Structure formats: structure tokens, C-alpha cells
Amino acid sequence: MPSPTLADVAREAGVSKGTASKALNGVTGVSASTRERVAAAAAALGWTPSYAARALSRASTGVFGLALARSSETVGTESFFMAMVAGLEEELALTDRALLIQLVPDVEAESELLARWAAERRVDGVFLLDARLEDPRTAVVEHNGLAAAAMASSPLSPMISRLAVDEDLRMDLVLERLMAALDELPEDAGRHLLYLGGLPQFQHVMARERRFRERCSAAGVGASVLHSDYQQHDVSRWTREVLALHREAGCRGVVVDNDLLAAQLLVELGRDGVRVPEDLAIVALEDSILCTVTSPAITALHRDTREAGRLLARLLVRHIEEGTLTEAIGPGGMVVRGSG
């Protein structure tokens, strides 16, 4: 018995073949009721899509793209990326879509790759991570009419859907913990904090830094900021700078951008005789199982990054169907452990 065709589905649903194709491929211009009717007809007939025909028609590839301008070392060791990709793939699998991932050396190469994907119709849309203050990917998306969804603290473009992250609130939660600890110290103790962040071109890093300085200034607490590229071989350098701030400026607490850097810093400080948290508290802005296996375990701001990936995937699907959208994800909550 021959397999059911798209024409069979259209006939069963009482629509044209073109309308059936649009409904099944997530193309705009089809009402929700018609989309549901066509989907029901396809299910009743046991119709499955032909990806070869889909690629030839260029209507839809069933593939979403993610280009990462990060080293393989960073992507392979940071829990954020592994959890994010897991969430994206879990959600896309529910609608029989696939995720195309490619690592590139820098954001310029990422922009070139996105333009090539758009020109070759390799993907239906793209995910943008590591939003930048002046993001060159924005122009690529706008020029090519490329469907895109970003996880970002501020809008990138009217054409890019956004999963909004409130970095002010995230930093507030961490600082409330550290400042409460400062208030319990003797009057002659140092009142100084450090933010050890990522590279300053990242939107989320600068949002965190701005809020960190604002809150410290308002509370009469000294504030220092160091920027890291997250590379493991540079941890000793950051440790020396943290030690200098601790000994010379009376720094008593460090806010660290991610779990891996926080764990490495804790180990290095221990080797130099610094007691955590008695001498210097450490709180991470990302949580993972790594934060539970150090001694002491690391206090961290936990968020469900896999769920963020699922939300971002759903947002891009809706972007294609409905146009630009914005949704928000919660800040997460503090998981108090031994480091601060």
C-alpha cells in the first residue's frame, strides 16, 4: 500500500495542497484552526514528512542553527553550554526538528557562518547566545531576514526574539548575601567586594558589572572588577590579583561569573592559605554539580539552564509563526553552601 502523500492530507483536511504544506511546515498565513485540522488529517493518515522534498522546496529544512564563538575547551567544560544545548535539543525533538551546532573562533566568523547558512537556506532559524553590546550578528539577521531568538538582558533588534534575563535581579540576590556577611564583621574589618566577570564585550557581563558597582556604591562598600576569558590556564593570574585585593584593599567577598572559575579560584586560594569563607567568601553566578564537590562547597545562584534552552527553542518556533516576541525567565534562587 503506497504511503500517504501531501495531496492526500490536503484532501482529508479539505484544504489546498499549498495550505497543507504551510500548515505542516510552520509557515505563517495559516490560521490555528486550519493548522490543527491539517495536523489531525496527517496523523489520521499516518503521513510523515519527506525531508528530501522539503529541502528541494526550500520551504523548511527542519533544522535550527547554533554557532558558538567559543573554544572547544570552554564549551566542553562549562555546564551552562551543555545544559543549554540539552534543553534546545529536547524541545526541538518534540516537533521533529534538529539542531545544527558549529564552533567558530570569534564573533566575526560566527557572523559569516550565519550569512552563509541564510544564503544556502541551511536552517529555518538561529539561536544567538553570548549577546554583545555592539553585536555584529544583528546586521546579518536583519539583512538576510533570518529568523532568530537570543538569550539576552537587553533587546538586540526589533527582528530578533528575546528570552529576557534580568541580570540586575540576579546580581542583587548575590550581593544581598555577601553584604549581609559584611555587616556581621567587626567595624575595623575590610568592606570591599570583587566581581570576577567575563569579557567586557558581553552584554550580560557589563549588565552585571553596572549593577555590582551601583549596589556597592549605594551601600558604601568598596568595589573592584576583573575581567576573565574563562581560560583555565589564566586562573593563577586571577588568583594573584584576588589575593592582592584581599591583602591590600581588605576584599572580603568575590562574585564569580561561573561555576568552573569559582571552583578553580577556591582551590588556588586554599593553596595560598586563604580560608574560605572565613577570610574571603566566594559566590558563583552559575550553579552546577561542580559547586557541590569542592571543600567547602560553593554558594551559587541556581537557574534551570535546560529549561531556558527549552524556552528559547519554543520562542524561535513561535517567532517563525507569529513574528518577533519577548519572554522572560526567572532569576533563579540562591543555594547556600559553605563558601559564602
Q: Where are the domains of the chain?
A: 6-57, 63-165+305-330, 167-302
Residue 52's pLDDT is 46
Correct CATH for 63-165+305-330 of 3.50.50.60, 3.40.1190.10, 3.40.50.2300, 3.20.80.10: 3.40.50.2300
Q: Model pTM greater than 0.95?
A: no
Q: What confidence tens digit (pLDDT) does each residue in 52-76 have?
A: 444 444 468 899 999 999 877 777 7
Q: How many residues does the chain have?
A: 340
Q: Which of 309, 305, 308 is nearest to 93 (CA)?
A: 309
CATH number (3.40.50.2300, 3.40.640.10, 3.10.129.10, 3.10.580.10) of 167-302 reads 3.40.50.2300
Closest CA relative to residue 128, chosen from 182, 74, 165, 76? 165
Give yes or no for a contact between 276 and 248, defined as CB atoms under 8 angstroms apart. no
Question: pLDDT value at position 76?
Answer: 74
Phi, psi of 162 (to 5 degrees): -135, 130
pLDDT at 75: 74
**Residues 11-53: tens digit of each pLDDT:** 999 988 878 877 876 666 678 788 889 889 888 888 776 544 4
177, 218 Cβ separation under 8 angstroms? no
Fold of 6-57: 434 Repressor (Amino-terminal Domain) (1.10.260)
φ, ψ for residue 125, nearest 5 deg: -175, 175
The residues, any chain, with a CB within 8 Å of residue 322's CB and separated by 6 or more, are 28
**Orientation angle between helical segments 17-24 and 6-13, nearest 10 degrees:** 100
**Do 63-165+305-330 and 167-302 have matching folds?**
yes
Three-state DSSP state, 121: coil
pLDDT in tens, the chain (340 residues): 577 888 888 999 998 887 887 787 666 667 878 888 988 988 888 877 654 444 444 468 899 999 999 877 777 777 899 999 999 999 999 888 999 999 999 999 999 999 999 998 999 999 999 999 999 999 999 999 999 999 999 999 999 999 999 999 999 999 999 999 998 888 777 799 999 999 999 999 999 999 999 999 999 999 999 998 876 667 888 899 999 999 999 999 999 999 999 999 999 999 999 999 999 999 999 999 999 999 999 999 999 999 999 999 999 999 998 899 999 999 999 999 999 9
